[in-house]
Each structure stands twice: as C-alpha cells, then as structure tokens.
Amino acid sequence: MNDDVFVEMECRQFIKTGQEACGDDYQLMTLEEENRAIAVLSDGLGSGIKANMLANMTTTMALKFMRSNLDLPGAVETMMDALPVCEVRHISYATFSIVDLRLGGTTKIIEMGNPRYIHLRGEIEVPPYKHERFVSPNWPDREVDTYNVRMQTGDRLIIASDGVTQAGVGQKKYKFGWRRSGELEFARDLIRRTPDISARDLANAIAFQALSINPEKCADDISCLVIYLRKPRVMRILTGPPYHREHDRDFALLATAGADNVVICGGTTANILERELGKKVKIDLKLIRADDELPPPGIMDGVGLTTEGILTLSKVCSLLEKGDPSSPIPPDAPMAARLIINRIEESDRIEFIVGTKVNEAHQDPNLPLELELRRNVVKRIAEVLEKKYRKKVDIKYY
C-alpha cells in the first residue's frame, strides 16, 4: 500500500434490544499490493440469529465477488439467488453496501436497499461523478445503485444501516427518524469541531448518537462504518537494551524523530535514553491507584511515555488478545498498559525497536514468576495487532 496514506476502516455496532446477535454484518479487507481496500456492510432481513446469518452470507459473498473482480449485475444476481426466501414475506434478501476503494483511482460504491453513503471532504459533502441504477431481472423489486467517486487523502466515507437513519422513528422530534440528513449534519458538525477525528471515533459517535435517539431501547440493529484516508500516524515503541553497547546512541536517537508517539518500555532502556539524550524520567505516583498491578508509568520530557518492560508488555499483549477493536479496554486495566493501548489505538503504524540483550537478572530462578522473553512477547503483540486490529507493524532488532 502507498506509504503516504493509511486507510482507516472501523465499524461500530449496537444490537437490537432483546436479541443475542446483530442482524447487521460487516467485513473489511485491505489488499496492500493492489492499493485497494474493500468494505461490505449488510443488513439481514429481520433481526437476531436469522438476520445475522443472512447478513453474514451476503458480506462473505460480496467480499469474494469484489475481490475476484466479478462483473457486477451478475454478482448481485447470484447473491440474491443464493439467499433463502423468507416464508412470511416471500423476499429473500439482505440489503448491502459495498465499497471497493482504489487509492489513486476510481472508488466504486454499490448499494442495494441500504441508506445512501456519505462522502465528506472536510465538512463538505462530495457528490459522485457517476451514478447508475439497474434493476435485477430475477428480482424486479430490487434496485441496485452504483456510484463512482474519487477519494483523496483526508476524505471520509460513512456507511450506515437503517438502524442509524431510522433511529427514533415515531417520536415527536423524529417523526421519520434521524434520517440521513440528521446523520450528515451530526458528522459535519463533529468534523468541524475535531477536523482530525479518526474513523473509529466518528463511527462510535454516530452509532452512540443513533442509540441515544432511540427511547429506552435499541429499536433496530445499528451499524456505522467509517473509512478515512489519512496520513499514517506512527507510534514507536523502544524496548530492551541493544546487544552491542556501542549501538546505544543510534538506538536512543530513534526516540527523538519520525514518530508521532514514542513509548519506552523497560527500566534499563529508559536509563540508556536518559544517559544518551541527557533527559530525565519523571514518575508521578499520584496518577496511579494503590492497587494498580503494574509499575507506575512516567514521562521523559520531549520524548514520550516510559513504562516498565516485560510485565507491562505481557499485560498489553493479553489485553489486546482478549479485547477487540470496537470495545475499549476494561476500566480496571492497569495504568501503564492502558496508556500504551490508548496510543496504539490512535496510531496506524506501530514500529517496535527491540534491543536484544537479555537481562540476566530476569532469568534468575529466585524470581516468583517466570518472565517471557521480550522478543516473543513483541512478536505476539505484532501478530494480534496485524490480524485483529488491522495495524501495520514493523519490528527492528538492535
């Protein structure tokens, strides 16, 4: 993928009150070597497990067809034919929106039955340069819209299920629901106030707003998917002393330039940076709870956050493995791990600079716990960040 732009894709969902599964489904895929990303959102007929299955079948098929560049009307026809027919309403469908995003080329948006997408450049709504509509021969009551747009760095696409646009239907203030216009105004207002808002925060804000418009209960499944093209935010994590002492200086300098966020994990590592950069770590004990289960984090002025090493990284790893991109870390998570994960969430590219010298004290059998090797923990974190959190990760050994 083009290194100057990062495609941030996030979706926030709420399940209809009383149901166990979300009747909307989404799937996201990045095709690095093609400078391409695909996002699909589907709303299955009805709600609960049945709807979830319909939606999931739809997103899975749509993703496969798009990826293999299948010709459009044919692909849509196949999808509708494949879905089972509802015995009550005699319709066999799940609505969907597909975004086939090409960096530097034409981005296609295909919609059937879902609320129309929103394309924003800053707070300005951008119209498509081409719009076509076709009706499926086998399913004449279904119209499919295709839109061609060009996405630039800084642009956002917002795709929502009707749980968003119809939120609050029937209330005095929202006779016809929040509608697309309400959603659009809300998004524009947020972007006006926070121009750099991430896809994740915007999707969260829109979904929460839709939820709060519903009186008392969530009347329909809510999904809001946001795609944001932006300059990548780089976070650098330095951990462990370099194998050769004469590399300490080069290692330390990596903390001072080229990243938006720097974290130094490890006491010895912090000592090396203090010595090489002439800085001092300050730890404010008032910021942590007495029962926090990790050593207190600190700040190295002008450089970044400092934490203890292996215990903190192991905790970060297990929290990331347990959590998922849309649900925040538990409120009782220890402070040092929370601060690192917050920074990871805000970043697109995470660079680990790993010193490979082994701390012999950590191998001492007198320690009450067995400590994992730094390199293994970093590898596990990298793996979960790439697979589950769609982050780009680089590891450099020193």
Partner 1 sequence: MEKIRLEICCGTTCYMLGASQLLKIESVMPDEWQDKVEVSAISCMNMCVEEEICAAPFVKINGELLRRANVESVLEKIGEIIREEA
Q: Residues interacting with partner 1, by CB under 8 A?
A: 266-268, 270-271, 281, 283, 285, 290, 293, 295-296, 298, 306, 308-311, 359-362, 364, 366-369, 371
Q: What b/e readout covers 322-358, taking b as 16+ CB neighbours within 10 angstroms?
A: ebebeeebeeebbbbbbbbbebbbebbbbbbbbbeee
Q: Nearest distance from residue 283's CB to partner 1, in Å?
A: 4
Q: Nearest distance from residue 106's CB to partner 1, in Å?
A: 52
| CB-CB contact of 53 with 44 (8 Å) | yes
Q: Which is nearer to partner 1, 131 or 244 (CB)?
A: 244
Q: Nearest distance from residue 310's CB to partner 1, in Å?
A: 6
Q: Which is nearer to partner 1, 257 or 290 (CB)?
A: 290
Q: Which is nearer to partner 1, 85 or 361 (CB)?
A: 361
Q: Nearest distance from residue 292's CB to partner 1, in Å?
A: 9
Q: How many CB atoms lie within 10 A of CB 209?
A: 19
Q: Which is nearer to partner 1, 57 or 377 (CB)?
A: 377
Q: Which is nearer to partner 1, 128 or 240 (CB)?
A: 240
Structure tokens at 79: 């999808």
Q: Nearest distance from residue 97's CB to partner 1, in Å?
A: 49
Q: Is 104 helix (H, G, I), strand (E, B) or coil?
A: coil
Structure tokens at 392: 């780009």
Distance, in Å, from the CA atom of 379 to the CA atom of 350, rounded to the nearest integer, reads 12
Q: Which is nearer to partner 1, 88 or 369 (CB)?
A: 369
Distance, in Å, from the CA atom of 244 to the CA atom of 295, rounded to the nearest integer, reads 27
Q: Nearest distance from residue 257's CB to partner 1, in Å?
A: 22
Q: Nearest distance from residue 295's CB to partner 1, in Å?
A: 4
Place of tokens 């009551």: 141
Distance, in Å, from the CA atom of 50 to the CA atom of 381, rounded to the nearest integer, reads 35
Partners of 396 in beta bridges: 353
Q: Which is nearer to partner 1, 90 or 289 (CB)?
A: 289
The residues, any chain, with a CB within 8 Å of residue 278's CB and separated by 6 or more, are: none
Distance, in Å, from the CA atom of 206 to the CA atom of 68, rounded to the nearest integer, reads 32
Distance, in Å, from the CA atom of 32 to the CA atom of 180, rounded to the nearest integer, reads 32
216: left (phi over 0), alpha (psi -120 to 50) or beta: left
Q: Which is nearer to partner 1, 160 or 305 (CB)?
A: 305
| CB-CB contact of 50 with 88 (8 Å) | no
Q: Nearest distance from residue 397's CB to partner 1, in Å?
A: 20
| Angle, helices 48-67/72-82, rounded to nearest 10 degrees | 150
Q: Which is nearer to partner 1, 69 or 366 (CB)?
A: 366
Angle at 46 between CA 42 and CA 52, to 5 degrees: 50
Q: Nearest distance from residue 367's CB to partner 1, in Å?
A: 6
The widest CA-to-CA distance across the chain, in whole angstroms, is 75
